[in-house]
Structure 1
Amino acid sequence: MRFIVTGGGTGGHVYPALAIARGLKAKYPAAEILFLGSEGGLEADLVPKAGFDFQGIKLTGFKRRLSFRNLLACWQAARGFTEALRIMNSFKPAAVVGTGGYVCGPVVLAASFCRIPTLIHEQNALPGVTNRLLSYITNAVAITFPDAVRYLPRRTRIKLTGLPVRPEFMSCTRQESRRALGLPEEGRLVLSFGGSQGARTINGAMVEVLYHFREKSDLHFLHVTGPAQYDDFVMMMSQRGFGFPDNGNNTIKPYLHEMPLALAAADLVICRAGAATLAEITVTGKPAILIPYPYAA
């Protein structure tokens, strides 16, 4: 049996897709799973590291305003649809599962065109544009929050499932996780991050937090800046008198692949309020200070 899983752009789409892929593999150990994502997207890095076959499709997301780049996005979407059709005909999956993001569009559309059963999972209370469009053609929609129902077509087959979380979040222990991450085994640990892409406002606020608590030897911070904002963060820290790599009671990372370990190690989490993050925090039972992104559901 073969399955295609697709979704990407942000960790909020990629990580639920990986959890679904692992769930399929657990239920069907002999199954072949192919992950389709965008070339150069976050998924191109995360999926192979998770042990799944990955194939990239060259796509560009649409701008929600008049832009010449949308013409390029349309052309790439059409080409992506053609490429996805070729993959459907050669791989012949039993079903296709999508978790959102613009790459999900041409892949699920191609599967529907080939009469392959399709399912999409929506993580948010307000469904994303891609999933709202796909809900008209997909066989079923799995949702995380009941509020999402009112934004979907009435004839859609909907199932309230919650948000799938990777099993690693349930198996890590505090002390083992701290040792694995090279963090102090004693004292309190605060984990802070702004989602897979980082958040400029949270980074700026954390510089001041780290400066305020810089002399607290019984308190350690693990802050994740986001890859594109790491250099700016280091500069702000330097302006505050911190030295690198020895910068006192804090550890700074551009990105953290070992988030299950980090959550297990932490005593408090400061972060955005993305659906995947909320599910992971809930599963691990960690107290959290949430800073929602004001322009997202």
Structure 2
Amino acid sequence: MRIVVSGGGTGGHIYPALALIREIQKENIEAEFLYIGTEKGLEEKLVPRENIPFKSIHITGFKRKLSFDNMKTIYRFIKGVSDSKKMLKEFKADVVIGTGGYVCGPVVYAAAKLGIPTIIHEQNSVPGLTNKFLSRYVNKIAICFDEAKNFFPNEKVVFTGNPRASEVLGQDGVKGRLSVGLKTGEPAVLIFGGSRGARPINEAVIKSLSEFGSKPYQILYITGDVHYNEVLKEVELVGNPANVVIKPFVHNMPEVLAGIDLTVSRAGATTLAELTSLGIPSILIPSPYVTNNHQEKNARSLSDRGAAKLLLEKELTSKKLVEEIDRILMDEKQLMSMKKSAKELGIQDAAQRLYNVMEELTR
């Protein structure tokens, strides 16, 4: 079977794609893959690391306001469709799967026009413009939140969950801790702002460093590559407590997560899939800058069920951050209750479910 996968921009679109590829490789050792992304996206770095053939097209997203840039985007879309058709024909694709991001638009659309079976995977509770557009042309739409089905043709929708959820299971948490410099005998908090980092979270953490230094827990603080050097300059001024480990990025996140007791993060769908699969309590700070405020809706799906604490960015202060971490991590009963609630929301066989959809579609 020859499978084309497309997804790009952020880790939230790329990691589910890579998890699905690894699941297919286990089920079908003869499967061949081609990943189509953009050369400026995070996928350009992550996909070749996995020894997966990678090709790129040039595409940008539409501006929500009237803009001359939208004319350029239309041109890039048309050219992207043309380029994608050539790649798909040359590769002789049997099926095309889009996991989100602007790049999926021309790739999946091209496949549909060529009569190749197509699937899109929507990770969020509220879909973006690309998947709404593609829903008219694809054969199947895989979703992770029940709320998303209302945006798509009902006969095409299948609930699978997020493939990344399957991949974080069975990891060695002790090994994960040691790999990033955390100790094994103390509670551990992971603070990060997604694959690209988040400035407001970074600012709150930097202001909290001196107070974190006196706490009976340790912290892994991932700044994001873009913010790392800037953060280090700030840290030099206030000092870096011995119990706070600072990293720009972590490539073995499933392994690291397996050793974490509490997470402070944005509310991207892939992150939530990982947390619920492992049953990790969380403090979620949704990005208010995303389409249709979908991260807040994602976060509420956990906070309303007792699996997470929702903390809006406008309410985020260093004092509030420390208070919420202490309130959860230093109350064993609260921690265990949130852990149980998170685990109940997890979908452990998501990758297998999505693989089954693909199998049925290509018979």
Calculate the TM-score normalised by the size of structure 1: 0.92
Residue of 270, 277, 292 corresponding to 2:286: 292
Question: Alpha-carbon deviation of 1:98?
Answer: 0.5
Contiguous gaps of at least 5 residues in structure 1: none
- CA drift of 1:184 comes to 2.0
- Maintained 8 Å contact 1:181/1:261: no
Amino acid at match of 1:255: F
Corresponding residue for 1:184?
183
In the other structure, the counterpart of 1:119 is: 119
Give yes or no for contact 1:210–1:221 (8 Å, CA) kept in 2: no
Residues of 2 paired with 1:70 and 1:170: CA distance? 42
Aligned partner of 2:144 in structure 1 is 144
Q: Which residue of the partner structure matches residue 171 of structure 1?
A: 170
> Aligned pair in 2 of structure 1 residues 98, 48: CA closer, same or farther (>3 Å)?
same
Paired letter, 2:97: V
Deviation readout 1:206-230 (Å, 9 max, x if unpaired): 11232212134x4221111112112
**Are positions 1:279 and 2:277 aligned together?**
no
Quote the residue 2:160 is aligned against.
Answer: 161
**1:181-233 deviations in whole A, cap 9, x for unaligned?**
332232121111011111111111111232212134x4221111112112222
Equivalent positions of 1:1-297 (< 5 A) are: 1-154=1-154, 156-165=155-164, 167-216=166-215, 218-242=216-240, 248-295=242-289, 296-297=293-294
Distance in 2 between residues matched to 1:63 and 1:158, nearest whole Å = 28
| Stretch moving more, 271-280 or 175-184 | 175-184
Would the aligned equivalents of 2:187 and 2:261 in 1 still touch at CA under 8 Å? yes
Structure 1 residue 61 displacement after superposition: 2.3
Following the alignment from structure 2 to structure 1, what is the Cα–Cα distance between the partners of residues 72 and 248?
A: 31
Read off the aligned partner of 1:289 and give its amino acid letter.
Answer: I
Mapped to 2, the partners of 1:129 and 1:170 lie a distance apart of 32
Residue identity in the other structure for 2:177: R
**Structure 2: 5+ residue stretches without partners:** 295-363
Structure 1 or 2: more helix by fraction: 2
C-alpha contact 1:18 1:166 (8 A) present in aligned 2: no
Give the whole-Å Cα distance in 2 for the aligned partners of 1:137 and 1:261: 37
Q: CA deviation at 1:65?
A: 1.9
Choose 19-28 or 271-280, whichever is displaced more. Answer: 19-28
**One-letter amino acid matched to 1:273:** A
Could you list the per-position Cα deviations for residues 62-100 of structure 1 after superposition, in whole angstroms to 9, with x for gaps in the alignment? Answer: 222223332322222222111101011110111000011
Report if aligned partners of 2:119, 2:141 keep a CA contact under 8 Å in 1.
yes
Q: Distance in 1 between matches of 2:65 and 2:262?
A: 39
Count of residues in Structure 1 that have an aligned counterpart in Structure 2:
291
With the length of structure 2 as denominator, give the TM-score of the two structures: 0.76
CA distance in 2, matches of 1:12, 1:174: 22
The alpha-carbon deviation at position 234 of structure 1 amounts to 1.8
**Seq. identity, %:** 45
- The residue that corresponds to 2:331 in the other structure is none
SS in 2 for 1:165: helix
Matching residue's letter, 2:42: L
Which SS does the other structure have where 1:260 is aligned?
Answer: helix
CA deviation string 1:208-262 (max 9, x = no partner): 232212134x4221111112112222222233234xxxx5221111221111122
Letter in 2 for 1:231: N
Report the alpha carbon displacement of residue 174 of structure 1 after superposing the two structures with TM.
2.2
CA-based RMSD of the aligned residues comes to 1.7
CA positional deviation for 1:276: 0.7
Determine if contact 2:209/2:238 at 8 Å carries over to the other structure: no
Q: Work out whether residues 189 and 263 of structure 2, in 8 Å CA contact, stay in contact via their aligned partners in 1.
A: yes
